[in-house]
Amino acid sequence: MRPPPPPNRNPYRDRVVGGLVLALVFAVVKGFWSAGKDDDTPSRIVPPVDMTRYVPEGDEGLGVSVVIVLDNSGSMADEAQGDERAKAVVARQAIEQALSATDAAVAKRRDFPVKVGIIAFSEVVESILPVQPYRRESIRTALSRLPSPNGGTAIGDAMDSARVALYRAGTFRKVMLIVTDGENTDGRHPADVAREIAARSDGSVRMYFVAFDTDPGKFGFVRAVKGDVVTAQNSPALQASLSTLYESKVLAESAAEPEPSTSSQSAPSSH
């Protein structure tokens, strides 16, 4: 038989207070876990951002540099929707066609260089074409050297490699275009990389995603850093999306050249 409760204790009140304490603890833990998370990604703890400014590896001047960051993971071997070709083949042809608009842009303004580089990634990241003045044959040759799709998907690591390449390119204007059909499985989370690049570049590196045959919501985080994501569910849509992004975000904006950012004048290294 239980002894009677002390005269100053109320069992009902104790249960209510205990429940409120547990609810408060749960809310605090949930808030810490979700703090800073992206609307379109599962809850996770977001690491702090290093605010040290990137510094170019050499002098920068007029022009625009763009790095195409191409998914070459195993899923890119699957057939594209409504197409007998693999998604990797479709993506390579769409990239080559989109970049062909560079010829006309360069002809109109020969004092404004357009430089292009290509990075491919699976669970590892590989530079296929170092950033250099656009030449159609160089693009075609580089794309033809891509290995067969295989392995995981290291989107964040590939973005950081593209950032390093852009800071070696020698132009004030820097853009990366990421083409992927999946979600990150290896390396750093792309949302963390995007936030770091935006912060440490003073926003001078623009990031754009093409979600090929996948949910664009996975990459909604890029809009918080003044980037964008477009969707392409099949081959014609991929061609249209890539061409539109390249011409509107790279070539059309090239005339409005920005002033050098403060990151170009800082002392710390870009690495």
Bridge-based pairing state of the strands 114-121 and 125-133: antiparallel
pLDDT, residue 262, reads 47
Looking at the structure, tell me whether residues 149 and 101 fall in a common domain: yes
Q: Is residue 47 part of a domain?
A: no
pLDDT, residue 253, reads 62
Model confidence at 263: pLDDT above 90: no
Torsion of Cα atoms, 216 then 234 then 181 then 33, to 10°: 20
Looking at the structure, tell me whether residues 203 and 72 fall in a common domain: yes
Looking at the structure, tell me whether residues 174 and 246 fall in a common domain: yes
pLDDT, residue 224, reads 94
Looking at the structure, tell me whether residues 35 and 112 fall in a common domain: no
Ranges of beta strands (E only) in the chain are: 61-71, 114-121, 125-133, 171-180, 205-212, 228-232
Looking at the structure, tell me whether residues 18 and 101 fall in a common domain: no
Angle between helices 87-99 and 136-144 (to 10 degrees): 170
Q: Is residue 45 part of a domain?
A: no
Q: Is residue 15 part of a domain?
A: yes
pLDDT, residue 21, reads 45
Model confidence at 29: pLDDT above 50: no
Looking at the structure, tell me whether residues 118 and 170 fall in a common domain: yes
Looking at the structure, tell me whether residues 86 and 206 fall in a common domain: yes
Confidence band of 33 (pLDDT split at 50, 70, 90)? very low
Looking at the structure, tell me whether residues 26 and 71 fall in a common domain: no
Q: 153 is written with which tokens?
A: 């998907």
Q: Is residue 266 part of a domain?
A: no
List, for residues 134-190, the tens digit of each pLDDT value. 999 999 999 999 999 999 999 999 999 999 999 999 999 999 999 999 899 999 999
Q: Is residue 56 part of a domain?
A: no
pLDDT, residue 7, reads 55
Between residues 110 and 88, the one the model is more confident about = 88
Q: Is residue 75 part of a domain?
A: yes
Task: Give the type of residue at 99.
Answer: L
pLDDT, residue 266, reads 41
Q: Is residue 151 part of a domain?
A: yes
Looking at the structure, tell me whether residues 33 and 111 fall in a common domain: no
Task: Give the type of residue at 53.
Answer: R
**Segments forming the whole domain that contains residue 19:** 10-39
What is the domain count for the chain?
2
Model confidence at 131: pLDDT above 70: yes
Q: Is residue 46 part of a domain?
A: no
Looking at the structure, tell me whether residues 161 and 220 fall in a common domain: yes
Q: Check which CATH number belongs to the domain holding 169 and give it.
A: 3.40.50.410
